[in-house]
A and B are shown apart, each in its own frame.
Chain A
Amino acid sequence: MLNDFLLLMKSELVLAFILFLLLIIKVGKEVTNERLLSLIQILLLGNFIYGFFFIESGSLFGGMYITNGLIAFQKSIISLGIYLISLLFSDWLKKSEHLPEFFILLLSAVLGMFFLISSGNLLMFYLSLELATIPVAAMANFDLDKKISSEASMKMILSSALSSGVLLFGISLIYGATGTIGFDQIPTLLDGSSLQILAFVFLFTAFAFKLSIVPFHLWTADVYEGSPMAVTSFLSVISKGAIAFILLTTLYKVFAPMHILWYNMVMLLSLITMVVGNLFALRQQNIKRFLAFSSIAQVGFILLGLSSHSIEGTSSVVYFVLIYVFSNLAAFGVAGAISQSYGKELIEDYKGLYQTNPFISWVLALSLFSLAGIPPTAGFFGKLFLITAGASKGNYFFIIVAALNMIISLYYYLRIVRAVFMDKNDQPIAKINLDPSTKLGMIICTAGIILIGLLSWVYDYITTLSI
């Protein structure tokens, strides 16, 4: 039993170990931020690499905790994401007065996400979701001297409290309708009665809040804008990814018998999300708000792939999230470097950036192309596979709308590219001295953006895990 416990929960245990290490350092003697950050970066890298070893599948605590190859891989994606965040925002982190606290909060949120992905029971699911949310709300308030930051935190905590309430209501309805909360038993007891549908709708609404699916997206832009850049990137990449993974399990495993019922709903929400996200992104001036709305549109694509209910659906969603980690974090990394050095966050300020900062301009351009889905970047493959998976049910009208949405999104991504490369500016942002670890993070992201697509074995590996 203890062996099982140690082996199956190894990723959570490592994370908890790092967490306690940080706590001890916090109460111990003073360490400079630089040294502490390097230590954290090394630990997180170790955590990421360790994720690929000793992968076992099995369950613990009577089915409350499940793990297998795919889940381990999903956790690795998240580990990679937090490692990249610790690299990309090192400038901001070094200057922060509360560096250990930041990572303690971040790691407890990630611990929540690990349990969330592994949960095999609605109770576990609820608890870990809360664990994954509340620390993030505290992190959103990390720019302590900024009013907008506390506003973001407040908005986040209120909206997530509301969604938790809705979720709890949904869970209680499911318990009422089926008499169980285990992921294994629920599917056998689903018969599509109206109470069960109602329960599913409530449950899905909670997901929609967290993933900012339209019409539950209203909190997103304000929270993103107010939070520090590192937190915004965590929210939009890591949180979204984790929720997308558990949504995958919930739809494909728990509510598999109701597939015909949820197919149309997911498809429709996917389209609305894409269209609304894209249309709002068109007019944004602030880069964070812009990325917020573009990430809403990306979630629309994830839903499109999810709707297919097939192995292709699973693997393409996981693959897309992996690519999304690289591309969106690269974009946030560049925006963060600029905002940290000069406090500029408007797209207008980016005019003529290429003249002074060619390296970060290319990183930004590549990441935007990847988000827009243009070859040879990985985003092209990710989006194409999502669309192909979505098309497998033969709903071509939706596919045409999705394809047209790619054009709208290209328009606004090109707006930034145009500002950076083409527009003239007498006073462009001056040369930015990048921290070496920020540079390393950007190089990793760029390599990921270019290689993950062209090396087809990455996708094949995910497919073999998904079966």
Chain B
Amino acid sequence: MNLTLLILLPLLTAVVILLMRSGVQVKWSALIGASVQFVLALILFFAFRKERASGNEAQMLFELQYKWFPSWHISFHLGVDGISVAMILLTAFVVIAGVLVSWNVEKMTKEFYLLLVLLSLGAYGFFISLDLFILFFFLEIAVIPKYLLIGIWGSGKKEYAANKLALMLMGGSALVLVGLLGLYFNGTEKTFDLLLLSKMQIPVMVQKICFPLLFVGFGVFTALFPFHTWVPDGHSSAPTAGSMFLAGISMKLGGYGCLRVATYLMPEGAREYANIIIVLSAIAILYGAFATMMQKDLKYINAYSSVSHCGFVLLGIGMLTKTAIAGAVMQMVSHGLMTALFFAVIGMIYERTHTREVNEMGGLIKVMPFITTVLFIVGLCSLGLPGLSGFVAEMSIFMGSWQNPDPFHRIATIAACMSIVVTAVYILRAIGKTAMGPINDRYLLLEDAKWNEKLAAIILIAGIIAIGIAPFWLNDLITPAADEIMHKVAGK
């Protein structure tokens, strides 16, 4: 399958949206674009499995290489391995759900959908690029749409949040840029090509300098402590689809970059700094969980819990075992689906009750059974109920972590495990107060979900349950790729 399709299709969708006149036309063209993209992602998934089943052991499949700025040793090099395929599937799920959920956006509909499509374009491009320059290009493409989405369609302190997000993410990418230049100039030959760089021996001294730059730079995107502060503000101020894209896709760009670029290319650096990563991510996990306990606003609850959940991703990477890394990728997929669904539900509730304060709600199950059921499912997934995706991912991270026998890793693992209890507390409390209890008279006339909201929720729930009860298909996809990374890190 030709990977450029994944980039060209959003581009085409964007052009079509630009040409459309009425809001309805814009919505439908965005939906059609997202659906075709969804189908493409599924085709990619099955084509990938078929190739692998037929014995194609190449590290990257469907590779493509076009000339682009040859004098800087840049090429438009695309290709996917299991991890990328998993992330593309995630993106496709979240994008289609995001488009469906924003059906009610009336203010500047065209611009809104255009920015959503551009954001998804950045994510797709990022996950399939095998050239660090293009990777960086796509990483930065996604920043400005986020800024505008929050600033124009957001709520609350939207300007502040938008500015904070844009500047912190740009700061992160500035660090990434310096790290990339370090790699470019210090390999045995100048190149931005990921596969070529992975075969080179990069001097240990350079790794020690560039690894933290790249890891922290990408880490900003994925809420690495103490650079997580944009997450609560950004997520809670963004419009529903914006939050879904931010938490579901955009934070995963960072995790993917940490794994694919920082850890894979600089194994010595990764080993050098692994303990610091573990400490920081353990702090993020616990701090995020405890901070969530104090929140009264549903969006803030999910935003802080995202900090905690994304901490697991970095913890998995820092543990440097095959199972943990596979678990980290799974956690990315699982958290992406889950948090997107959570934000979607919060958006649906907010649209009806016009409040996000947990204390002002209650008994919503009586008037909107569908929405509250979805809320239960997503809450249970978040606290790690077996049978849903959260459990699978966290479980494999813990199992991978436990493979490190020394006390330091054990203590970090136990500390991270404890957060699950806290998660259970805040999730159950929030859901309970929202759905159960006596209903406020104001809410008696509210309606349940409409077709578009139901469809969005069902698509995401399907993903969550598919991972939860049959994790092997995702595991089979990720493990060989994680193996390849570990192989390099272990230096064998």
- Residue A444, interface by CB 8 Å: no
Contact B148 A421 (CB under 8 A): yes
Which partner residue on chain A sits nearest B70 by CB separation? Answer: A460
Q: Which chain B residues border A105 with CB–CB below 8 Å?
A: none
In the assembled complex, the Cα of A67 lies from the Cα of B182 at a distance in Å of: 37
A403:B69 contact, CB within 8 angstroms: no
Measured between C-beta atoms, what is the minimum distance from A356 to chain B in Å? 14
Contact residues in B for A418 (Cβ distance below 8 Å): 151, 159, 162-163
B151 pairs with A375, CB closer than 8 A: no
Interface pair A369/B144, CB less than 8 Å apart: yes
Docked-complex contact A414 and B163, CB < 8 angstroms: yes
Q: How far is the CA of A456 from the CA of B177 in the complex (A)?
A: 20
Give the interface residue-count category, chain B.
Answer: 20 to 34
B235 contacts partner chain A, Cβ-Cβ < 8 Å: no
Interface-located stretch among B49-57, B91-99, B164-172, B292-300? B164-172
A411 in contact with B144 (CB, 8 Å):
no
**Is B158's CB under 8 angstroms from A422's CB?**
yes
Which chain B residues lie closer than 8 Å to A403 at the CB level? 174-175, 177-178
Q: Is the CB of A312 within 8 A of B71?
A: yes
- Name the residue on A nearest B138 (C-beta): A375
Interface size on A, residues (CB 8 A): 34
B408 at the interface (CB under 8 A from A): no
Inter-chain CA distance A385–B177, complex, in Å, is: 11
A310 to chain B, nearest CB (A): 11
Residue A37 at the B interface, CB < 8 A? no
Chain B residues near A380: list those with CB within 8 A.
137, 140
Find chain A residues with CB under 8 A from B170 CB. Answer: 406-407, 410
Closest A residue to B74 using CB positions: A456
Judge whether A404 and B171 touch: CB under 8 Å.
yes
| CB-CB contacts below 8 Å: A413-456 with B | 414, 417-418, 421-423, 456
For the complex formed, measure the closest distance between the CB of B119 and the CB atoms of chain A, giving whole angstroms.
13
Counting CB contacts under 8 A, is B492 at the interface? no
Q: Which residue of A lies closest to B133 (CB)?
A: A384
Cβ contacts under 8 Å, B144 to chain A? 369, 374
Considering the complex, which residues of chain B in the window 143-189 have a beta carbon less than 8 Å from any beta carbon of chain A? Answer: 143-144, 147-148, 151-152, 158-159, 162-163, 166-167, 170-171, 174-175, 177-178, 181-182, 184-185
Q: B residues within 8 A CB of A388? A: 72, 181, 184
Q: Which residue of B lies closest to A355 (CB)?
A: B108
A387 touches which one: B151, B152, B177 (CB < 8 A)?
A: B177
**Other-chain contact of A407, B138, B147, B167 (Cβ < 8 Å):** B167
Interface membership of chain A positions 377-392, coded 1 if the CB is closer than 8 angstroms to chain B and 0 otherwise: 0001100110110011
Q: Does B141 contact A (CB under 8 A)?
A: yes
Interface status of B472 (Cβ within 8 A of chain A): no
Instruction: Name A's interface SS.
Output: helix
A400 touches B141 (CB 8 A): no
Chain B residues with Cβ below 8 Å from A460 are: 69-71
Q: Are B178 and A396 in contact (CB under 8 A)?
A: yes
Interface presence of A315 (CB below 8 A): yes
A385 to B, closest residue via Cβ: B72
Are B185 and A394 in contact, with the CB atoms below 8 A?
yes
**Assembled-state Cα–Cα distance A411/B160 (Å):** 12
User: What is the bound-complex CA distance between A456 and B158, given in angstroms?
Assistant: 37
**Chain B min CB distance to A459 (Å):** 6
Residue in contact with B140 in the complex, picked from A374, A411, A414, A423, CB distance below 8 Å: A374
Q: Which residues of A contact B436 (CB under 8 A)?
A: none
Q: How far is the CB of B128 from chain A (nearest CB, A)?
A: 16
Partner of A456 from B69, B147, B162, B184 at Cβ < 8 Å: B69
Chain B min CB distance to A396 (Å)? 6
Check if B273 is an interface residue, CB within 8 A of chain A: no
Which residues of B sit under 8 angstroms from A414, Cβ to Cβ? Answer: 147, 163, 166
Are A463 and B71 within 8 A (Cβ)? Answer: yes
Kindly provide the distance from the CB of B117 to the nearest chain A CB, expressed in whole angstroms: 13
Cβ of B143 and Cβ of A374 under 8 Å apart? Answer: yes
A391 and B163 in contact, given A404-B171, A406-B170, A463-B71 (Cβ under 8 angstroms): no
Cβ contacts under 8 Å, A374 to chain B: 140, 143-144
CA distance A410 to B170 in the complex (A): 8
CB distance from A10 to the nearest CB of B (A): 29
With A396-B209, A460-B71 given, is the CB distance from A407 to B171 under 8 Å? yes
A233 smallest CB distance to B (angstroms): 25
Chain A nearest CB: distance from B188 CB in Å? 16
Give A268 to B312 CA distance when docked, in angstroms.
42
Q: Which residues of A contact B147 (CB under 8 A)?
A: 414, 417
Shortest C-beta distance, A9 to chain B (Å), equals 31
A375 pairs with B141, CB closer than 8 A: yes
Assuming the contacts A376-B141, A392-B185, A400-B178, asked whether A411 and B69 have C-beta atoms less than 8 A apart, the reply is no
Which residue of A369, A376, A396, A422 contacts B182 across the interface (Cβ within 8 Å)?
A396
Closest to B68 in A: A456
Q: In whole Å, how far is B274's beta carbon from the nearest beta carbon of chain A?
A: 23
A236-291 residues at the B interface, CB under 8 angstroms: none
**Which chain B residues border A198 with CB–CB below 8 Å?**
none
Q: How far is the CA of A465 from the CA of B175 in the complex (A)?
A: 32
A141 to B162, CA, bound (A): 41
Q: Which residues of A contact B158 (CB under 8 A)?
A: 422
Q: Which residues of B contact A394 (CB under 8 A)?
A: 185
Question: Which A residues touch B68, using CB under 8 A?
Answer: 456
Distance between Cα atoms of A369 and B145 in the complex (Å): 12
How distant is the Cα of A406 from the Cα of B137 in the complex, in angstroms? Answer: 15
- Provide the bound-state CA to CA distance between A376 and B162, in Å: 20
Bound CA span A421–B111, Å = 11
User: How far, in whole Å, are A394 and B170 apart by their CA atoms in the complex?
Assistant: 23
Find B152's partner among A384, A411, A422 (CB 8 Å cutoff): A422
Asked whether A399 is an interface residue with its Cβ less than 8 Å from the other chain, the reply is yes
List residues of chain A with CB within 8 A of the CB of B181: 387-388, 391, 396, 399
Interface centre among A399, A400, A403 (most CB of B within 10 A): A403
State the Cβ distance, A405 to closest chain B Cβ, in Å.
9
Is B442 an interface residue, CB under 8 A from the partner? no
Closest chain A residue to B141, Cβ basis: A375
Whether the pair B178, A421 counts as a contact (CB closer than 8 A) is: no
A312 to B69, CA, bound (A): 12
Of the candidates A375, A392, A418, the one having the most CB atoms from chain B within 10 angstroms of its own CB is: A375
- Give bound CA distance, A460 to B71, whole Å: 7
Min CB distance, B167 to chain A, in Å?
6
B67 at the binding interface (Cβ < 8 Å): yes
Chain B proximity of A345: nearest CB distance (Å): 23
A407 touches B69 (CB 8 A): no
Across-interface contacts of A407 in B (CB, < 8 A):
167, 170-171, 174
Nearest chain A CB to B182 CB, angstrom units = 7
Most buried by A among B171, B178, B184: B178
In A345-373, the 8 Å CB interface with B consists of 369
Complex: A399 Cα to B179 Cα, angstroms: 10
How far apart are B122's CB and chain A's nearest CB, in angstroms? 9
B237 to chain A, nearest CB (A): 12
A417 to B152, CA, bound (A): 11
Q: How far is the CB of B29 from chain A (nearest CB, A)?
A: 19
Task: Give, as a whole number of angstroms, the nearest-CB distance from B348 to chain A.
Answer: 25
Beyond A391-B181, A459-B71, A460-B69: 13 further Cβ-contacts under 8 Å? Answer: A315-B71, A375-B137, A375-B141, A376-B137, A387-B181, A407-B174, A410-B167, A414-B166, A418-B159, A421-B148, A422-B158, A423-B159, A456-B67
Would you mind naming 21 contact pairs between A and B with Cβ atoms under 8 Å apart? A312-B72, A315-B71, A374-B143, A375-B140, A380-B137, A380-B140, A388-B184, A391-B185, A396-B181, A396-B182, A396-B209, A400-B178, A406-B174, A407-B167, A407-B171, A411-B163, A414-B147, A418-B159, A422-B158, A422-B162, A459-B71
Chain B interface residues (CB < 8 Å from chain A)? 67-72, 133, 137-138, 140-141, 143-144, 147-148, 151-152, 158-159, 162-163, 166-167, 170-171, 174-175, 177-178, 181-182, 184-185, 209
Which residues of A approach B to under 8 Å, CB–CB?
312, 315, 369, 374-376, 380-381, 384-385, 387-388, 391-392, 394, 396, 399-400, 403-404, 406-407, 410-411, 414, 417-418, 421-423, 456, 459-460, 463
Query: Which 7 A-B pairs rank lowest in CB-CB distance, beginning with the nearest?
Result: A403-B174, A422-B151, A456-B69, A391-B181, A463-B71, A456-B68, A375-B141
